[in-house]
Amino acid sequence: MPTTNRRQFNLRLGALLGGLAPAWAAQAQATGYPAKPVTLIAPYPPGGGVDNVARLIGERLATRLGQAGNVDNRPGAGATIGATALARSAPDGLTLMLGSIVDYAIAPHAHKALPFDMQRDFIPVVEVGFGTVALVVHNDVPARNVRELIALAKARPGELSYASSGIGGLQHLNAEMCKQMAGIDLAHVPYKGTAQLLPDLLAGRVPMSIDSLPAHLPHLKAGKTRALAVASRSRSPVLPDVPTMAEAGLPGYETATNYTLFAPARTPAAIVAQLNAETNAVLKLPEVVDKLTAMGIVIIGGSTAAAQAKAASETEKWAAVIKRGNIVLG
C-alpha cells in the first residue's frame, strides 16, 4: 500500500472515530443497537482456526450485546467470498466478520480483480489476536528439522509438496515466503480450508503445511504429526520445545495468523466504538483467555486505529512476497 494512501486512510479513520469514544454508549443506546440478532461471518469452513475463534468470540459478544448471534461460514477463494458478503452488507452493525487482516492485505495483490477494497469497504474494529504458525510435517517425512527439510527439498526440487487452505491464502503465502528465503522449490496442493487438508496431512497424502497452530495442536500433541518450527519471534508457550524458524535455520522468517473483527464501512462510529469496547471486554474473560491460550493464540485487543495500522504494515509485507512469487489469480 503506498505510504500516501495509507496516511490518507488513517486520517479518514481518525476523523471518523476521533473524539467519539467517550460518547459511544449513549449514542448506541439512542439508536437501539442492536435491535436484531448479530451475524458473524467466518470466511473459512467449520473446524478451522478462524471458525473456532469466531464461535468462541461471537457467542460471548452476542451475549454482551443482549442479542442472539450466529456464525455464518462463507468459505472459499482465499477468504474473499466471505469478505464480499460483508462488503455487500448493510452498515448497521448486524453483520460482522471474524477474519484475518493478512488475508485482505494479500487479496488485492494476489487477485486481478476483487468486488471489494479493504480500505474502502471494511473497518477493522479490533485485532482479537494472532495464532502462531507452525511448519508441520507428516511423521513419514525423513527430515527431523528445518535444515534437513531444506536439504531434502534442494535434493528433490519440485517433488516435495505442501498443503494450503487455498490459492492466495496465508498458508500459500507462508510457503511461498519459505521457498523464496530458503531457495527451494515446493509443489502447491491447495484445499478449501484447514479442515479439508488435515485428513490428507494426517494420512501422509501431502507431507507438510505451514499453517496456523490451533487446528494442528491436538494432532501434534497426539504424536500424529510433527512441528519442525514455529514462525513467531519467540517460542510458543504451548510448544516450548519447538524452535522458531530463525533458531531452526531460516533467520528473518516470521508470520502469524491474524484474527480481526471487521464491520462494513460506513457503520456508525458509535456502533464501531461499542463493538470495540465489548470485544475488548470479551477478550478479558478468564474462560476466553484460557481457551485462546490453549489454542496457541496470543490475545491483542486494543483500538480500531491500531488494527488499521496493522493492516497497513501487513499489506506492504505481503505485497513484496506476492510480487517476487508472481502470484496472480483471475
Length of the chain: 330
Calculate the alpha carbon distances from 257 to 30, 66, 121, 296 in Å: 37, 30, 22, 11
Residue 330 within any structural domain of the chain = no
Residues 9 and 107 in one domain: yes
Label residues 87-107 b or e (16+ Cβ within 10 Å = b).
Answer: bebebbbbbbbbbbbbbbbbb
Around 83, how many Cα atoms within 13 Å sit in the side-chain half-sphere?
27
Range of the domain at 177: 132-248
Residue 46: CATH number of its domain = 3.40.190.150
Residues 93 and 52 in one domain: yes
Handedness of CA 315, 317, 318, 323 (dihedral sign): positive
Q: In this predicted structure, what is the pLDDT of residue 143? A: 98
Q: In this predicted structure, what is the pLDDT of residue 140? A: 97
Residues 103 and 75 in one domain: yes
Residues 124 and 261 in one domain: yes
**This prediction's pTM:** 0.76
Cα–Cα dist 6/309, whole Å = 9
Residues 119 and 144 in one domain: no
Residue 177: CATH number of its domain = 3.40.190.10
Residue 136 within any structural domain of the chain = yes
Residues 21 and 97 in one domain: yes
Among candidate residues 215, 248, 281, the one where a domain is terminated = 248
What tens digit of pLDDT does each residue of 164-212 get? 988 877 889 899 999 999 999 999 999 988 889 999 999 999 999 999 8
Q: Show pLDDT as tens, one digit a residue, over the chain (330 residues).
A: 444 444 444 444 444 444 444 444 444 454 689 999 999 999 988 988 889 999 999 999 999 999 999 999 999 877 889 999 999 999 999 999 999 888 888 888 777 788 898 888 999 999 999 989 999 999 999 999 999 999 999 999 999 999 998 887 788 989 999 999 999 999 999 998 888 999 999 999 999 999 988 889 999 999 999 999 999 999 998 899 999 999 999 999 999 988 999 999 999 999 999 999 999 999 999 999 999 998 888 999 999 999 989 888 888 888 888 888 887 765
Residues 302 and 187 in one domain: no
Residues 137 and 202 in one domain: yes
79 closest CA partner among 62, 99, 49: 99
Among candidate residues 214, 248, 282, the one where a domain is terminated = 248
Q: In this predicted structure, what is the pLDDT of residue 296? A: 83
Residues 175 and 316 in one domain: no
Residues 244 and 265 in one domain: no
Calculate the alpha carbon distances from 155 to 185, 213, 314 in Å: 10, 28, 33
Among candidate residues 190, 219, 248, the one where a domain is terminated = 248
Query: Which 3 state secondary structure label does DSSP give 30?
Result: helix
Burial group, residue 219, by CB count within 10 angstroms (0-12, 13-18, 19+): middle
Q: In this predicted structure, what is the pLDDT of residue 305? A: 97
